[in-house]
């Protein structure tokens, strides 16, 4: 199980980046004691996204986060209404997919449903 992913984000984009993740169903959670400010942590169903303020963030060109959005159509609509450009991709595993760039430039793949678990 993956508990969290940490994404570097320019400090001036933290609020916008947090808003993006809230649009795909995550909610902000309090930072644990001992963690300095300049971060924003969000969670959905036990998985967390840690936004880490960095004055020179590294954003991978091809690397991305894939998020299952059971309310796929509503998620695409919310993102579109919030001004994000959502690109539908070809279906995989018989399910719809889309990609969107966050305010900090991270690529997020939205999936209507996950594939069946691999055998073994």
96 Cβ partners below 8 Å, 6+ apart?
72, 88, 111, 112
Could you read off the pLDDT of 62-84 as tens digits, one per residue?
999 999 998 999 999 999 999 99
Cβ contact 77:25 at 8 Å: no
What is the DSSP-derived secondary structure letter of residue 2? -
Position 120 scores a pLDDT of 62
Rg of the chain taking only CA atoms, in angstroms: 15
* Res 119 pLDDT > 80: no
pTM, full prediction:
0.90
The two beta strands, 39-44 and 64-68, are unpaired
Instruction: List domains and CATH numbers for the chain.
Output: 4-111 (3.10.180.10)
d(CA 80, CA 115): 25
Report the SS3 class of residue 76. Answer: helix
pLDDT tens column, 5-62: 999 999 999 999 999 999 999 999 999 888 887 899 999 999 999 999 999 999 999 9
């Amino acid at each position: 199980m993956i508990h969290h992913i940490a994404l570097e984000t320019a400090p001036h984009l933290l609020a916008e980046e947090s808003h993006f993740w809230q649009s795909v169903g995550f909610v902000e959670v309090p930072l644990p004691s001992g963690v300095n400010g300049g971060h924003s942590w969000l969670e959905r169903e036990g998985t967390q996204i840690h936004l880490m303020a960095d004055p020179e963030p590294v954003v991978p060109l091809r690397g991305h986060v894939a998020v299952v959005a059971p309310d796929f159509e509503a998620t695409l609509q919310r993102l579109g209404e919030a001004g994000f450009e959502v690109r539908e991709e070809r279906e995989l595993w018989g399910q719809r997919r889309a990609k969107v760039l966050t305010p900090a430039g991270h690529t997020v793949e939205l999936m209507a449903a996950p594939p069946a678990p691999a055998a073994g």
